[in-house]
């Protein structure tokens, strides 16, 4: 790739992600924009709203071309994907190769050369769009596994910009990552960034180790020395790989949870559920990484044995539809729905439903009402970069009560250390934790919740982006210093 000039009227701050913060919704009579699913958008949207800049991404629909537009104080630059690219780049390489590979191969990843070809092609389109959007010397922040090649491509196109990359999902140990036939290209791609952020220190360490083993590149502390690559048009540089755990907009959620209408809605939800003594809640994208089956198994067994009864508890499971054309996602949905049906068939009574199950998404206000209504929150991911749902639950518990059961395999476990930690594969342990949560005395709930809330009030999403962007700026200044003789 050859360097290109900076545009005359470019943006000083550019976010590049596979998805725009909004999705084109064509289900009604008139097409509209709705919030895109997932934690990336929840985390990055408040950052974008508070800064001038542009967000480059896909509008969530194939074969449609949109002009750049402004929405909700953000400037959005849509990138087009053809239906073939949605199949090969998005559903294929991103979500059937990298997603399972980076999540402990919970399901087997598939490797197809046609998918890889489409992934490179689409990454180049995103890199070129970024090169045409960023002002001279701008900061460009690239996000997540769908765009791992963009940093290196952008570096070749626009050596003047400062490039950050954030990996929202885990980064696997070398022993798993090395299965990827294109591991070298993926590593070199990400290493085009000056700063590479990960959710947990272990993810960053896995990445540095991969760079050492595969490329033989030397590391010192968090830094990796990347030599020049004349073929790809990049000069030698140092790239830093470190942990920056993402968080939530605690202030916004606090405001929502103090809104009298939302408080009343939470009370209404409890009444509609039949006023049970204990409301248990699960909120996830419908994904095999979330451990929804494990959670249902533990809950079902607790009902079977009589340890829990529908006289006093109910479970609300909300699952947002996700990646629905992929086999593995259809399969997890079928399994979850079968388990819900079984539990309800065996344990529900009139007005006493064991599981209330919803397969759709809710507006933010309604989600907050559910968090407010729930005494116990179950987050049982088998592997998860962060899991913002766990943090959202805590941020909404303005009364300092409620109990959080949290998987140690979610990044959030590093910050929410007062949660009841579980290994979701250990069904006996999960059952014990659910019972403890249901029976937890108020004083213990308060102690744990208060400590977690205090931490989240400080370690919010603003602090996350500030820490990342400050470090990127410092690296950029150092780079400038080195260049001056
Ligand atoms: P992931 O990014 O893997 O989906 P996270 O837990 O990090 O997981 O983020 C999920 C985000 O999506 C959270 O902000 C959560 O509030 C939101 N969300 C999850 N389920 C729903 C739903 N049914 N309706 C609306 N928002 C949802
Ligand atoms: C996770 C990923 C995001 C992704 C989101 C929703 O949060 O880290 O990159 O956008 O899931 O998934 P989707 O495939 O619908 O974009």
Q: Is the beta carbon of 103 within 6 A of some atom in ligand 2?
A: no
Output the six-digit token pair for 370: 């559910």
Measure 37 CA to ligand 2 centroid, in angstroms. Answer: 7
- Give per-residue pLDDT as tens, 247-297: 999 999 999 999 999 999 999 999 999 999 999 999 999 999 999 999 999
Share of the chain above pLDDT 90, in %: 95
- Within 339-439, strands assigned E span 355-358, 376-379, 403-407, 420-422
Taking CA atoms only, the protein residue closest to ligand 1 atom 9 is 39
> What's phi and psi for 351, nearest 5 deg?
70, 5
Residue 483 has pLDDT above 50, yes or no: no
Hey, which residues does 240 pair with through a beta bridge? 195, 223
Q: Is the beta carbon of 362 within 6 A of some atom in ligand 1?
A: yes
- Residue 234 confidence (pLDDT): 81
Over range 365-389, report the average pLDDT.
98
Output the six-digit token pair for 466: 């500030």
- Residue 113 confidence (pLDDT): 98
- Give per-residue pLDDT as tens, 319-370: 999 999 999 999 999 999 999 999 999 999 999 999 999 999 999 999 999 9
Measure 320 CA to ligand 1 centroid, in angstroms. Answer: 7
Q: Is the beta carbon of 46 within 6 A of some atom in ligand 1?
A: no
The answer to whether the complex's ipTM is over 0.90 is yes
Nearest ligand to the CA of 167 is: 2
Residue 484 has pLDDT above 80, yes or no: no
Q: Where are the alpha helices (DSSP H) in 273-326?
A: 292-305
Give CA separation, 85 vs 25, 115, 132, in Å.
Answer: 19, 8, 22
Residue 482 has pLDDT above 70, yes or no: no
- Residue 232 confidence (pLDDT): 80
Hey, which residues does 320 pair with through a beta bridge? 285
22, 94, 284: residue to mutate for ligand 1 pocket, most atoms within 8 A of CB:
284
Residue 133 has pLDDT above 90, yes or no: yes
- Give per-residue pLDDT as tens, 422-449: 999 999 999 999 999 999 999 999 999 9
- Residue 229 confidence (pLDDT): 87
Side-chain-side CA neighbours of 122 within 13 Å: the count stands at 35
Residue 100 has pLDDT above 60, yes or no: yes
Q: Is the beta carbon of 173 within 6 A of some atom in ligand 2?
A: no
Q: Where are the alpha helices (DSSP H) in 180-291?
A: 183-190, 201-215, 250-258, 260-272
Residue 427 CB neighbours (<10 A): 15
Q: Is the beta carbon of 59 within 6 A of some atom in ligand 2?
A: no
Give CA separation, 87 vs 82, 95, 377, 430, in Å.
Answer: 9, 10, 35, 37
The CA distance from 76 to 57, in Å, is 8
Q: Is the beta carbon of 233 within 6 A of some atom in ligand 1?
A: no
Residue 380 has pLDDT above 50, yes or no: yes
Output the six-digit token pair for 430: 């999960």
Mean pLDDT of all residues belonging to the chain: 96
Contact (CB, 8 A) for 124 and 2 = no
The CA distance from 263 to 227, in Å, is 57
pTM score: 0.97
Residue 1 has pLDDT above 50, yes or no: yes
Contact (CB, 8 A) for 406 and 420 = yes
Q: Is the beta carbon of 38 within 6 A of some atom in ligand 1?
A: yes
Q: Is the beta carbon of 78 within 6 A of some atom in ligand 2?
A: no
Nearest ligand to the CA of 377 is: 1
DSSP 415-448: T-TTSEEE-TT-HHHHHHHHHHHHH--HHHHHHH
Contact (CB, 8 A) for 170 and 100 = no
Please, what sign has the CA dihedral across residues 304, 307, 312, 318? Answer: negative
User: Helix, strand or coil for residue 165?
Assistant: strand
The CA distance from 41 to 33, in Å, is 14
Over range 374-388, report the average pLDDT.
98
Measure 3 CA to ligand 2 centroid, in angstroms. Answer: 31
Share of the chain above pLDDT 70, in %: 99
What is the largest distance, in Å, between two alpha-carbon atoms of the chain? Answer: 80
* Cα-trace Rg, the chain: 23
Over range 45-72, report the average pLDDT.
95
- Residue 480 confidence (pLDDT): 64
- Give per-residue pLDDT as tens, 3-24: 999 999 999 999 999 999 999 9
Q: Give me the sheet containing 134-143, strands edge to edge.
A: 69-71, 74-79, 54-58, 11-19, 134-143, 162-166, 195-198, 237-243, 223-226, 219-220
Comparing CA positions, the residue from 357, 322, 313 lying closest to residue 339 is 357
The CA distance from 417 to 413, in Å, is 6
Which residues neighbour 276 within 8 Å (Cβ) at sequence distance 6 or greater?
A: 270, 310, 312, 313, 314, 352
How sure is the predictor about 479, in pLDDT bands with cuts at 50, 70 and 90? confident
Taking CA atoms only, the protein residue closest to ligand 2 atom 4 is 38
How many residues make up the chain in this entry? 485
Residue 152 CB neighbours (<10 A): 29
39, 357, 379: residue to mutate for ligand 1 pocket, most atoms within 8 A of CB:
39
Which residues neighbour 133 within 8 Å (Cβ) at sequence distance 6 or greater?
A: 7, 10, 11, 14, 54, 56, 77
Q: Is the beta carbon of 42 within 6 A of some atom in ligand 2?
A: no
Q: Is the beta carbon of 322 within 6 A of some atom in ligand 2?
A: yes
Taking CA atoms only, the protein residue closest to ligand 2 atom 12 is 38
Q: Is the beta carbon of 169 within 6 A of some atom in ligand 2?
A: yes
The CA distance from 102 to 408, in Å, is 17
């Amino acid at each position: 790739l050859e360097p290109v000039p900076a545009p005359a009227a470019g943006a000083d701050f550019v976010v590049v992600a596979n998805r725009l913060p909004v999705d084109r919704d064509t289900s009604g009579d008139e097409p509209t924009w709705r919030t895109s699913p997932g934690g990336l958008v929840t985390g990055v949207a408040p950052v974008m709203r508070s800064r001038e800049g542009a967000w480059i991404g896909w509008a969530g629909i194939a074969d449609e071309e949109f002009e750049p537009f402004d929405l909700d104080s953000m400037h959005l630059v849509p990138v087009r994907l053809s239906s073939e690219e949605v199949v090969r780049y998005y559903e294929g390489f991103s979500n059937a190769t990298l997603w399972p590979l980076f999540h402990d191969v919970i399901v087997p990843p598939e490797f197809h050369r046609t998918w890889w070809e489409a992934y490179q092609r689409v990454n180049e389109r995103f890199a070129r769009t970024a090169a045409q959007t960023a002002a001279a010397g701008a900061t460009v922040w690239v996000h997540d596994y769908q765009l791992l090649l963009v940093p290196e491509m952008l570096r070749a196109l626009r050596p003047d910009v400062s490039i950050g990359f954030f990996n929202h999902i885990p980064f696997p140990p070398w022993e798993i990552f090395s299965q990827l036939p294109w591991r070298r290209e993926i590593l070199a791609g990400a290493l085009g960034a000056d700063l590479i952020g990960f959710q947990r220190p272990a993810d960053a360490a896995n990445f540095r180790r991969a760079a050492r083993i595969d490329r033989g590149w030397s590391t010192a502390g968090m830094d990796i020395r990347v030599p020049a690559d004349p073929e790809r048009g990049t000069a030698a540089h140092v790239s830093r790989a470190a942990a920056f755990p993402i968080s939530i907009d605690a202030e916004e959620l606090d405001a929502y949870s103090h809104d009298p209408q939302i408080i009343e809605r939470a009370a209404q939800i409890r009444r509609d559920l039949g006023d049970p003594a204990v409301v248990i809640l699960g909120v996830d994208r419908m994904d095999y990484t979330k451990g929804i089956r494990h959670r249902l198994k533990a809950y079902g067994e607790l009902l079977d044995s009589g340890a829990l009864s529908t006289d006093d508890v109910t479970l609300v499971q909300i699952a947002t539809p996700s990646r629905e054309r992929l086999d593995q996602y259809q399969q997890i949905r079928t399994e979850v729905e079968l388990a819900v049906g079984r539990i309800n068939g065996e344990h529900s009574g009139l007005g006493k439903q064991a599981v209330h199950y919803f397969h759709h998404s809710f507006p933010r206000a309604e989600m907050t009402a559910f968090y407010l209504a729930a005494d116990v929150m179950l987050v049982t991911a088998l592997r998860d970069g962060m899991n913002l749902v766990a943090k959202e639950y805590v941020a909404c518990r303005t009364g300092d009560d409620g109990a959080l059961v949290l998987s140690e395999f979610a990044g959030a476990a590093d910050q929410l250390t007062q949660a009841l930690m579980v290994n979701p594969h250990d069904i006996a342990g999960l059952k014990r934790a659910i019972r403890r949560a249901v029976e937890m005395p108020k004083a213990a709930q308060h102690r744990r919740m208060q400590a977690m809330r205090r931490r989240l009030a400080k370690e919010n999403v603003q602090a996350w982006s500030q820490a990342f962007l400050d470090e990127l700026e410092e690296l950029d200044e150092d780079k400038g210093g080195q260049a001056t003789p």
